[in-house]
Structure formats: structure tokens, C-alpha cells
Structure 1
Amino acid sequence: MAVAVGAVVLVGCGGDEGAPEVGRTGSSVPVVPSVGGTAESTGGAPTSASAEPVGDCGPAPSLAPGHRIVQPIRQPNKDQLYFKKTRFVCDANGGHYEAVGEEQTPLVFVVEVDATLSGPTPWKARYLGQVWVHIGKCLAGGQDGEHMCSPFPVYEITVDDKKQITSITEIFHP
């Protein structure tokens, strides 16, 4: 007589408090440890404000060192990005990021920042002012002309050793 024994392990969407988030590769939604190098705990099967509780969506995907996911809180000006840390939360579409905590110390953009903004077709900003205007319009109402804004206005940024933003990519999530 054979006996089969199975075990089920449940993993929450976020990491333990103080541990970096790790996750699946190949996901269409990138992730990063929250700004400051620690993960925000989501405590089980988190939900978004607009969704019913969903099951475990697995650990958040990981990003390369120096990359972060942030949520702007107002239109950038004077070369500065005003933002909050983010955490990855589960939803019916596989998960998204939402702002947590207090406003952080603004980061400065390099003059020649590499910027990709989203919508149905991602597009490259030709100059830094386009990034500022796009973020401002998206935060104010969700549409920048023909360029659709994500309902979760988060951006993957790369920060150099001088703590300056060298690249910014809008993450579109329905």
C-alpha cells in the first residue's frame, strides 16, 4: 500500500519586514525593493482598494540593483522627483504597486535622463520636461493627450551612485 503525502506552502506577495523583495522573473510587471532597500510587508493576501481579496499571486518579481519602483505624488519641478515608497500587492491581474508611507526626500534627475512613458504603445521622451508634464497630467486626471496613463501611477527608476535618476520607465498596469 502506497501512501502519498503532500504539503502546501503559502507565500505572501510581499517579503518580511526589512527583507528585500524577491520574485518571479519574466513578469510583465517589474518590482524592486522599496526605496531604502527594505520591503514593505503586505501581510498575507493583500488587496487593492478597488478589488476584492485575491489569492496568493506569488512573490513580486525582482529588479537589478540600483532600480526602484516609486510613485510620484506631484508633478516634478526643478529637476526633482517627489515620491513615496511602494509595495507590491496582489490583484486580479497579477499584482501592482501602490504608495506606502510618507513622502521621501526628492531625487534629482540627470539632464540626459533615459525616459520611457507608457500607454497602449510605450514612447520615449525627447527631453526631461516631457516627463514632468506627463507625470503631472497623469496625477491630475489620468490622460496625457494621446498617451494613456496607468491607473497605478508608478515608475521604475535607476539611481546612480550620486543618488541621481538616470532612467525612468512608467509601468502600465490596467
Structure 2
Amino acid sequence: MTRTRMTRTRRLISTVAVVAALGAATACGPEEDTATGPGASSQPSAKPSTGNGGSGGSGGSGSADNGGGDCGQPPKLPAGHKMVEVAVPPSKGSMSAKDAKPACTPNDWIYRGDGKANYYLFSENVKAELATGGGSTKTVPVGELWTHAGDCMTNSSAVKSPYSCSGNIYDITLDSEGKVKTIKEIWHP
């Protein structure tokens, strides 16, 4: 009798362990968003996505557009940061960009430009960073960032490695005059 009880207990424990492991494996969706094209982009938890519509990010506030996913709470950006989607190729010293808001997809949160484009001037000492893949960035002269953003919007074949086009989503901070102080391209595979 003791042996039968031990066998039942072991089976019960094994069953619970298997169910817990399967639950943990299926609780989260894939880390990469497979959506492509205009308006489709993502950054699960901290990664951006492809497409001209935006990319994901590790922050921001906005509408929890529940597009079929189970994303939980919208991501939050650090204080003073905002995600934007460049609306037209930037020119020397300025850009037009829409605020990018997180939206839930079947794969996770993504960022998409929303509403009317705002006009931004760049501060004299702006820090610019371009994505080099895998979440890494490289500090570049701001003019190189303007060229890159324009090429991604009009001629993506002109973009050379280690750079790529990742949806025209940028994390920016503004100085006390409302000028862009930092701008960082958000990468997505």
C-alpha cells in the first residue's frame, strides 16, 4: 500500500511539473513581431519592429489598442522620453514626426505614429544614435541621422550595413526650449 501511494504521489508531482512547464512555455508570445509593411511594427518589451508604421519600445504611454494580443500593461518610457515616427525626411535642423503610441498585437506591444505630425527643431548639441542591430546603437553626427531617416523613407537600398531601416521610430528627449536634445533610432529585426 505504501508503494502504491508513493507511485501516485510521484505521478501527481510529475503531472503538476509538466503542466507548470507547459504553462510557462506558452504564457508569452514570440519575441519577434512578424508583421511587416506600413503601419506594422513592434518592439516586444524592449525591441522595435519592421515596417514604416513604427516600432516597439520599452516605454511610452498611449492607447492600449487591443489588436488581438494579450500584452498586459502598456510599456512605459523613462521620464522625459517620447517615441515618435518621422513623418517626412528630416531636413537640416528640423523634422516633422507623429507621436508614436503603443498598440497591442498578437506578438506584443508595437509603436505606431498617431495623429498630426509635430514640427521639431534640433538643439545645437544634439546627440544622435543609429541602430546597428540587436538593440545596439552607434553615435553619429546628426546630419548622418537625417540622411539615414530620409533614405529609409525614400530609398532603403541606399542604407548600408551596419544600419538598416527599422520603421522610422525614434526615442527622443527635448531640452528646456522644446528642441530635440537626443534622438535614438529604435531597432527591430
Does TM, scored on the shorter chain, surpass 0.5?
yes
Structure 2 counterparts to residues 111-150 of structure 1, below 5 A: 111-120=124-133, 122-143=136-157, 144-146=159-161, 147-150=163-166
Using the alignment, how far apart are the partners of 1:27 and 1:103 within structure 2? 24
Any stretches of 5+ residues in structure 1 without a counterpart?
Answer: 1-25, 34-38, 47-53
Using the alignment, how far apart are the partners of 1:141 and 1:78 within structure 2? 18
Q: CA deviation at 1:42?
A: 4.1
Q: 2:123 aligns with which of 93, 96, 110?
A: 110
Using the alignment, how far apart are the partners of 2:84 and 2:173 within structure 1? 11
Q: 2:79 aligns with which of 38, 42, 65?
A: 65
Q: CA RMSD in A?
A: 2.0
Where in structure 1 do 4 or more consecutive aligned residues deviate above 4 Å? none
Using the alignment, how far apart are the partners of 1:166 and 1:127 within structure 2? 13
Moved more, 155-164 or 86-95: 86-95
Q: CA deviation at 1:124?
A: 2.3
Q: 2:176 aligns with which of 161, 167, 171?
A: 161
Structure 2 counterparts to residues 22-101 of structure 1, below 5 A: 27-28=46-47, 29-33=57-61, 39=62, 41-43=63-65, 45-46=66-67, 54-101=68-115
Using the alignment, how far apart are the partners of 1:65 and 1:74 within structure 2? 26
CA contact (8 A) 2:86 2:95 kept: yes
CA contact (8 A) 1:111 1:128 kept: no
- CA offset digits 1:113-159 (Å, max 9, x no partner): 21221142534243111010011011124451111111x22000011
Letter in 2 for 1:117: L
Using the alignment, how far apart are the partners of 2:108 and 2:132 within structure 1? 18
TM-score normalised per structure 1: 0.67
SS at 1:137 equivalent: helix
Query: How many residues are matched?
Result: 133
SS at 2:59 equivalent: coil
Q: CA deviation at 1:92?
A: 4.1
Higher helix share: 2
Using the alignment, how far apart are the partners of 1:141 and 1:96 within structure 2? 24
